[in-house]
Structure 1
Amino acid sequence: MGELPEHVAVNREYWDAMAHEWVAAGERSWQEVEPSWGQWGIPESETPLLPDDMTGMRAIELGCGTAYVSGWMARRGAAVTGIDNSAEQLRTARRLADQHGVALDLIHGNAESVPRADESFDFAISEYGAAIWADPYRWIPEAHRLLRPGGTLVFLGNHAFVSVCSPLDGSFPITRRLERPYFGSHRLDWRDAVDDPGGIEFTLTHSAWIKLFRATGFEVVDLVEIQAPADATGVRSGISAEWARDFPSEHVWTVRKR
């Protein structure tokens, strides 16, 4: 293996150091009967991301973290592979998979370069994970390579409104003003953020996503812009429930390989 790209190395160190903060959340999600998604816990019944029956399907989670999404897919009948950049996150994932009696193929690696053959999977998903921590110009073509023709990719991550309303110094909370340019907002380096310094994230404009999908060989099936539920309260990663009821804080793209 050659030298890791800067953002991959930075994010690996960041997530290994903070993996312990996500153990309890992973344990709760592994226990969920019905999946729920994103910062606001949107039920699968309201915003379905998974096929109801995955019997016989080969699925991969790109940036699996504690692998609860992989667990949900395995319980629906899929043979599941998960890849994550953080060895510490995978340590928790393996423990919880064993605890719940779920067989998973877990890989320590980078979702931009997955050690699996072309057309190995029917379905790919990322809830955050690769969806924000990997470079879309690398991981979207890699997801396309991994999927068979007609295979589906679903991913959930931060909406572009979150980046443009985030103060330049990385302070919380995000505002109702345009704080930074919409265009050219591909790479967001949060290492020197005033509040909750982090790693290197990625985002695209909606038109850039669509252009990338078309150039890669995906067709868009659906786009969901998530609104916080009416009864949501509190703040998630500097985003208040009030803000997220007025503006989409997350999006879900569903695309199909041509």
Structure 2
Amino acid sequence: MGELPEHVAVNRAYWDAMAHEWVEGGARAWTQAEPTWGVWGVPEGELHLLPGDMTGMRAIELGCGTGYVSGWMARRGASVTGIDNSAEQLRTARRLSEQHGVALELIHGNAEAVPCADNSFDFAISEYGAAIWADPYEWIPEAHRLLRPGGILVFLGNHALVSVCSPLDGSYPIARRLERPYFGSHRLDWRDAVDDPGGIEFTLTFSEWIKLFRATGFEILDLTEIQAPADAVGSRSGISADWARDFPSEHVWTLRRRDRSSPG
């Protein structure tokens, strides 16, 4: 195995070091009968990110963390593979999957280079995970490779407004004004952030996302900009519930891999 790209190595060390902070939340999510999504816990009944019946489907979670999304899919009948960059996160995922009697294939690796064959999966999903921690110019084509023609990719991550409203020094809270350029915000290095220093994240402008999807071979089925629920309180990573009711802090893209015979 060659040397890891800088962001992959940085994010691996970051998540291995902080994995213990996500054990309790992961364990709680594993007990949920119905999925909830993102930092504001929006119900599956509102977002519809998963097929209701996944019997016979092969699914992959790109950046599975503690594995609860993989568990939700397995309980809907799917055969599920989860890949994550953090060995410590996977340690929790394995323990919880065994505790709940849910069979998962779990891989320690990078969602930009997944050790699975072409056309292996019917459905791919990332809730944060690869959606923000992997380079989209690498992981989106990789997801396309992994999916069969007609396969679905769903991913949830930070909205572009979060990056442009984040102070340059990485301090909290997120502002109600533009703090950094919208253009050229592809790579966000938070290692020296004033508050909650972290790893290296990625984002794109909306036009860049759309051009990447088309160039890769995906068609866009849906885009949802998530609004914090009316009863949400507190803040998440410097984003207050009031901010997230006025501006979207998260987005969800739903894509379908075009059949090779389909027009571009």
Shift of 1:188: 0.1
- 2:150 matched to which residue of 1? 150
- Name structure 2 gaps, 5 residues minimum: 259-264
Distance between the aligned counterparts of 1:50 and 1:178, measured in 2?
34
- 2:211 matched to which residue of 1? 211
- 1:33 matched to which residue of 2? 33
Matches within 5 A, 1:62-77: 62-77=62-77
- 2:174 matched to which residue of 1? 174
Offset from partner CA, 1:55-100 (integer Å, 9 cap, x none): 0000000000000000000000000000000000000000000000
Scaled by the length of structure 1, the TM-score of the pair is: 1.00
- 2:51 matched to which residue of 1? 51
- Name structure 1 gaps, 5 residues minimum: none
Distance between the aligned counterparts of 1:207 and 1:225, measured in 2?
15
Find the residue that maps to 1:45 and give its secondary structure.
helix
Distance between the aligned counterparts of 2:168 and 2:184, measured in 1?
14
Matched length? 258
- 1:78 matched to which residue of 2? 78
- 1:237 matched to which residue of 2? 237
Distance between the aligned counterparts of 2:221 and 2:208, measured in 1?
16
Shift of 1:194: 0.1
Matches within 5 A, 1:163-202: 163-202=163-202
Find the residue that maps to 1:110 and give its secondary structure.
coil
- 1:18 matched to which residue of 2? 18
Give identity over the alignment, percent: 85
Answer yes or no: is 1:227 the counterpart of 2:230.
Answer: no
Find the residue that maps to 1:132 and give its secondary structure.
helix
What stretches of structure 1 move > 4 A for 4+ residues in a row? Answer: none
Shift of 1:178: 0.3
Distance between the aligned counterparts of 1:36 and 1:149, measured in 2?
28
- 2:101 matched to which residue of 1? 101
Shift of 1:169: 0.0
Shift of 1:229: 0.5
- 2:120 matched to which residue of 1? 120
Offset from partner CA, 1:164-210 (integer Å, 9 cap, x none): 00000000000001000001100000000000000000000011000
Find the residue that maps to 1:93 and give its secondary structure.
helix
